[in-house]
Structure 1
Amino acid sequence: MTIIQEAIETLETIPYLGMRPQDFEEFWLEGLRGDTRVKARLELEEIPYPLSKVEVFTATVQSGDQVELKGYFLRPRAINLCETLPGLVRFHGYSGNRGQISELLFWALQGYAVLALDVRGQCGKTPDSRVYPAGAYAGWMTLGLESPHTHYLRQVYLDGVRAVEALANQPEVDEKRIGCIGKSQGGGLAVIAGGVINALGQEVNLKGGVKAVSAAIPFLADFRRSYQLQSGGPMEELSWYFQLHDPEHKREEKVFTTLDYFDGVHFAPWLGKETACLVSMGLKDTVCPPSTVYSLYKAICGEKKLLVYPEYGHESPDGFMDQQIEFFAKELL
């Protein structure tokens, strides 16, 4: 038995610790109804770039709560309007931002229209105008932790859906060939945004849908186990929260009940059987422990592939990019 086979056999025996709230679907439908009253669209401003084969734009999408989500939009320059383009929404990691134009160029040169927006309030140019009941601890995981209605991630997830919908509304983009891609937090957001729009989008007359998802070392899954196993990373913020506000963990169940509304494992089945997924996992990952990634992977019900890297932690080898190229070419090009 190989190391990977042994690891998978062990992971199969580890139970998922989260609990799907009874009103989970209605909670997200309520959020979508409020967030989609104004059509999602891209406001674009072309910026100079020294390559003739692509067009590069700054992009703005207005969120449902009137925050301007800032980012980049790239597309191949030679657009035949009789042939629409496949689209990709790229989500970034925790405390990151939209990234550099050169990172997105990689996809635009392959023929994709690609959109990357800053996650609100993190380290890009997108602010977060919401007012929370209390402060947080060196990050965002405990912002609004008192209730799922006030938690920071609620609007972040709705912003992700809005990004997909804005891309789908671009006239040059084929709404039936849209993919989501991301790493760590971005991997979780790719699954979550795709799940929400695929399962609930028709209920609120959304145009877009997600056909393919690539989630590298995804965060935002199995929060209870992730908290138990964490040694650094975003889940450490919960430790600081408990130290300062609840040292005896009397409110522990309430905390994790709130987080259950944002657990990627509950969104993964919503992707549906027609959406293909590529997931990567590092067996030495202490930020997104393998058992949490595997819980997310198991919950995906469509065609899926898991790439396991025994010698990697919270990262993927360079060769994973080749796997992504092949995956999206098969599903979207």
Structure 2
Amino acid sequence: MPAFDYPLEKLKTYMGQSPCPADFDVYWTEALEEMKAVDAQPERVAASFSTAFADCYEFYFAGVGGARVHAKLVVPKSVPKGGCPAIVQFHGYSGSSTEWSGLLTMAASGFVMAALDCRGQAGESQEIVSANLSTFKGHIIRGLRNGPKHLAFRSIFLDAAQLAGLVMDMPEVDATRVASQGGSQGGALSLACAALEPRIAKVVAQYPFLSDYYRVWQMDLAENAYDELRAFFRQVDPLHEKEEETFNTLGYIDVKNLAPRIKGNTLMAITLMDKICPPSTQFAAYNNIHAPKRHIIYYDYGHEGLPNWSDHAYDFYRDWM
């Protein structure tokens, strides 16, 4: 058992320590209204990559704030009556959508695949900056000094939900069989996507990031992917005079607070030796999901590749094949 976190029995009931803002539901209702008011102007451009059994596209749409958002899209050439199931896939922090070949297993199994490039990270999506960046560090703290509506992850969460909705509207897709999936940041986005687009029917999340920020801080693990939290306090609030306000604002983009909104059947991989996304923060997200759910615990693994996880995920989708 991990010596750096709670015992497993406590983890199984732990709900998190970070605050949930009083107007959390109003905040996201207004954010979704803003998203729905955007003329997305979806566009498919034939990709340079090709395969015999599916069509590959660069997919673009207009997101909130006017950003041009990009995703890879793979559509099976053979579409059954009623449409294909689909998976909206999300990548890890600072990265980009997977290589085309990484989408082909599920496309060959009859799934439409859409893989988002998060704004301002390594992919093609455009980032529109409308706030003081505060520090040189990343997306968690971007916009933090300017108020909840300026948080960078607000826009990224909305991009995830908007992409899912656009996929559901595609003529090749059965909108009742659409899933979200990813690991780390991608795990967080798979949860946020399902929370903000309640028609998501299945969720596959691997050691989700962006959960229970105050617990990360309390454990002195504001390093690696969470290092920007430490940088923010050192550079902006060295006396922690606004610590309570800071963590309350981060509560708007905390996936444990979004988790109760999820309706889809959820499968989560939880890693007990994870010092990047600590086990308690993963359980905080999982335990707040009220929909049907199941977790697989990797006792001796951290933030790394997990044996047989892809097979577990594939089996989770098997009834859609």
Same fold (TM over 0.5): yes
TM-score, length basis structure 1: 0.90
The correspondence of residues 1-333 of structure 1 with structure 2, limited to 5 A, is 7-12=7-12, 14=14, 16-40=16-40, 42-80=42-80, 82-146=81-145, 147-198=147-198, 209-229=199-219, 230=221, 232-272=223-263, 275-330=264-319, 332-333=320-321
- The Cα offsets for residues 173-208 of structure 1, whole Å up to 9 and x where unpaired, read as 01111000010011011111111121xxxxxxxxxx
TM-score, length basis structure 2: 0.93
In 2 relative to 1, CA 141–328 (structure 1 residues): closer, same or farther, beyond 3 Å?
A: same
Give the letter for the 2:108 counterpart: L
CA contact (8 A) 2:84 2:174 kept: yes
In 2 relative to 1, CA 226–60 (structure 1 residues): closer, same or farther, beyond 3 Å?
A: same
Give the letter for the 1:172 counterpart: E
Distance 1:48 1:132 in 2: 36
Secondary structure, counterpart of 2:296 in structure 1: strand
- The Cα offsets for residues 111-141 of structure 1, whole Å up to 9 and x where unpaired, read as 1001012100111111211221233333222
CA contact (8 A) 1:41 1:169 kept: no
Distance 2:95 2:11 in 1: 30
CA RMSD of aligned residues (A): 1.8
Secondary structure, counterpart of 2:197 in structure 1: helix
- The Cα offsets for residues 192-242 of structure 1, whole Å up to 9 and x where unpaired, read as 1111121xxxxxxxxxx1000000010111111022221532221111111
Secondary structure, counterpart of 1:61 in structure 2: strand
Secondary structure, counterpart of 2:179 in structure 1: strand
- The Cα offsets for residues 253-312 of structure 1, whole Å up to 9 and x where unpaired, read as 11101101111111111013xx21011111110110000000111011121111111121
Question: 1:66 Cα deviation (Å)?
Answer: 1.8
Q: How many residue pairs align between the two structures?
A: 316
Distance 1:287 1:57 in 2: 34
Q: Which residue of 2 aligns with 1:205?
A: none
Distance 1:277 1:171 in 2: 26
Question: 1:327 Cα deviation (Å)?
Answer: 0.6
Distance 1:13 1:150 in 2: 33
Secondary structure, counterpart of 2:148 in structure 1: coil
Question: 1:75 Cα deviation (Å)?
Answer: 1.5
Unaligned runs of at least 5 residues, structure 1: 199-208
Unaligned runs of at least 5 residues, structure 2: none
Question: 1:243 Cα deviation (Å)?
Answer: 1.2
CA contact (8 A) 2:222 2:230 kept: no
Distance 1:86 1:64 in 2: 26
Distance 1:14 1:169 in 2: 38
CA contact (8 A) 2:223 2:230 kept: no
Distance 1:12 1:134 in 2: 37
Greater mean alpha carbon deviation, residues 46-55 or residues 16-25: 46-55
In 2 relative to 1, CA 256–277 (structure 1 residues): closer, same or farther, beyond 3 Å?
A: same
Q: Alignment identity in percent?
A: 29
Distance 2:318 2:128 in 1: 38
Distance 1:14 1:174 in 2: 36
- The Cα offsets for residues 4-33 of structure 1, whole Å up to 9 and x where unpaired, read as xx9431314655212222211111111111
Give the letter for the 1:241 counterpart: F
Secondary structure, counterpart of 2:65 in structure 1: coil
Distance 2:102 2:58 in 1: 14
CA contact (8 A) 1:55 1:74 kept: yes
CA contact (8 A) 2:70 2:124 kept: yes
Question: 1:109 Cα deviation (Å)?
Answer: 1.0
Q: Which residue of 2 aligns with 1:202?
A: none
- The Cα offsets for residues 30-59 of structure 1, whole Å up to 9 and x where unpaired, read as 111112113546311122445311111111
CA contact (8 A) 2:222 2:228 kept: no
Distance 1:136 1:231 in 2: 15
